[in-house]
Amino acid sequence: MPQKDIDMALVTRAQSGDYQAFDMLVKKYQHRLLALAQRFVGDADEAMDVVQDSFIKVYKALGRFRGESAFYTWIYRITVNTAKNFLASRQRRPQGVDVDLEELESSAHAGQALHEVSTPESEAYRDELEAVVMNAIDGLSHDLRTALVLREFEGLSYEDIAVIMECPIGTVRSRIFRARDAVDEKIKLASGQKEESLQV
């Protein structure tokens, strides 16, 4: 049975007052949503607050969910918007983006530089590159960061991201392109500065 159908069956049961069905949906998605929220707000405790708020919103709006989109894209959209509102209410940018090196290695743009032989020099370079990438992502606008995180770290399709961000697929592609370009520029700039410092 496809995941979308399983989710819809649980949603239907939850809409009928079956609290156990809603608990199953929470258990299924809470870890993924926590990882997603932490990439936006930076702090694990604050991310937990965002996810809790998101599930409260999901529960209250569950009666209006009709299954036009997949359930997970619906709750991703709610979580992204809740994180955005959380940051706006704190009037601050995220402190950092929690990105594993394994996740960075999966990125086509940063991967080549990360697949080096492990030496003290390459370890130092890897740490520097990770910091550059995280700072570059942190400096993106909310729309660009959201599109990039959902695509590169969550592995969602352009279609799902378009549903979550409530915009055309062409806009999603444009945002991801611009976000990758901005991160690439930061990496090139940092690499150029490193080469200059080595030549001095």
Q: What is the CATH number of the domain that holds 42?
A: 1.10.1740.10
83 shares its domain with 106:
no
Domain housing 82? 3-90
184 shares its domain with 117:
yes
How far is Cα 83 from Cα 38, in angstroms, rounded to an integer?
A: 9
60 shares its domain with 135:
no
The residues, ordered by sequence, that sit 6+ positions from 87 with a Cβ below 8 Å of its Cβ are: 40, 41, 93, 94, 142
32 shares its domain with 121:
no
Residue 96 lies in a domain: no
Q: Residues 54-100: pLDDT tens digits? A: 999 999 999 888 888 889 999 999 999 999 888 888 765 444 444 43
Mean pLDDT of the chain: 79
Average pLDDT over residues 163-187: 88
H or E stretch at 133 = helix 120-138
pLDDT at 192: 67
Residue 95 lies in a domain: no
How far is Cα 170 from Cα 71, in angstroms, rounded to an integer?
A: 23
129 shares its domain with 74:
no
pTM over cut 0.75: no
The token pair at 124 is 């130092």
How far is Cα 137 from Cα 7, in angstroms, rounded to an integer?
A: 32
